[in-house]
Amino acid sequence: MMPRVLAVYPVHFVDRAVAHTMARLCPAQVQAPLAFTMMAPSIEPIDRRSNLIAAIPKPFKKLCYTLRIDRPVTELRYLRKLRAFDAAYIWPKISTPTIARAKAAGKPVFLERINCSTSTARSILDDAYARLGLTPQHSITSEMIRDEIEQTRHADYVFCPSPLVKTSFLELGVPAEKLLLTSYGWCSDRFPTLLDQPPTLRSPISRSRSFLWAAFASAKERIC
């Protein structure tokens, strides 16, 4: 019987952005000898799929979100469901106690880290605020950094989707053997001749472009 992996996503599942990435990484049919099941608090009706579970029963959905207990309910349901699986695949924003309990249950724990560590993010933002002569207004606290360090201690492996993400966790003191460098779909072997083509034959997107990125409300995004 192939190993069964239970993944958990912390918020309402809409097949866009981060949730879309998770769904692509955990398909119902996969070439590797693994069986993926995903869990989220709730699911957009149009985005339901055979291997995606809603942790909150539909009759209690409104109540759970009103009381803001959607994540605790999801984590409790996840731990119960995990008993029948072989490994835990945990996405950001799941609590440290839940990660610790998954590890204590004897399951290999894989953490997904989309961005650089919170410690690196705070350093970047503090420097930017200082150069602008402003008091830092981001939401990253020392407690959040300590919490992330504790989570990596419970993890067997941490997926890092870029070299910068991996470096940020090395600087945090996470052992190199725990950090698995991955990518969200890019593999140069799939495009062996792309960079050898004359610029005129490449897609227009390969030409020089400048982009303006704007954030609303809080400077907290970590692009690295």
Is the residue at 224 inside a domain? no
Is the residue at 153 inside a domain? yes
For 166-204, the DSSP string reads HHHHHHTT--GGGEEE--SS--GGGSTTGGGS-GGGS-G
- Which residue in 101, 59, 52 sits closest to 76, CA to CA? 101
pLDDT given at position 195 = 64
d(CA 169, CA 127): 19
pLDDT given at position 184 = 76
For the chain, the DSSP string reads ---EEEEE-SS-B-SSHHHHHHHHHS-SS-SSS-EEEEEES-B-GGG--TTEEESS-GGGHHHHHHTT-HHHHHHHHHHHHHTTSSEEEE-TT--HHHHHHHHHTT--EEEE--S--HHHHHHHHHHHHHHTT--------HHHHHHHHHHHHH-SEEEESSHHHHHHHHHTT--GGGEEE--SS--GGGSTTGGGS-GGGS-GGGS---------S-------
Structure tokens at 158: 């941490």
pLDDT (tens digit, 0 to 9) for every residue of the chain, 224 residues total? 789 999 999 999 999 989 999 998 898 877 678 899 999 999 999 999 999 999 999 999 999 999 999 999 999 999 999 999 999 999 999 999 999 999 999 999 999 999 999 999 999 999 999 999 999 999 999 999 999 999 999 999 999 999 999 999 999 999 999 999 998 766 667 667 766 766 655 555 555 666 776 655 555 554 44
Domain count, the chain: 1
Is the residue at 215 inside a domain? no
Is the residue at 114 inside a domain? yes
Is the residue at 192 inside a domain? no
d(CA 88, CA 92): 13
pTM for this prediction = 0.83
d(CA 210, CA 89): 36
Is the residue at 200 inside a domain? no
d(CA 112, CA 7): 10
Kindly report the CATH number assigned to the domain that includes residue 111. Answer: 3.40.50.2000
d(CA 193, CA 203): 13
| Residues of the domain holding 103 | 4-186
Is the residue at 214 inside a domain? no
Is the residue at 57 inside a domain? yes
d(CA 71, CA 117): 22
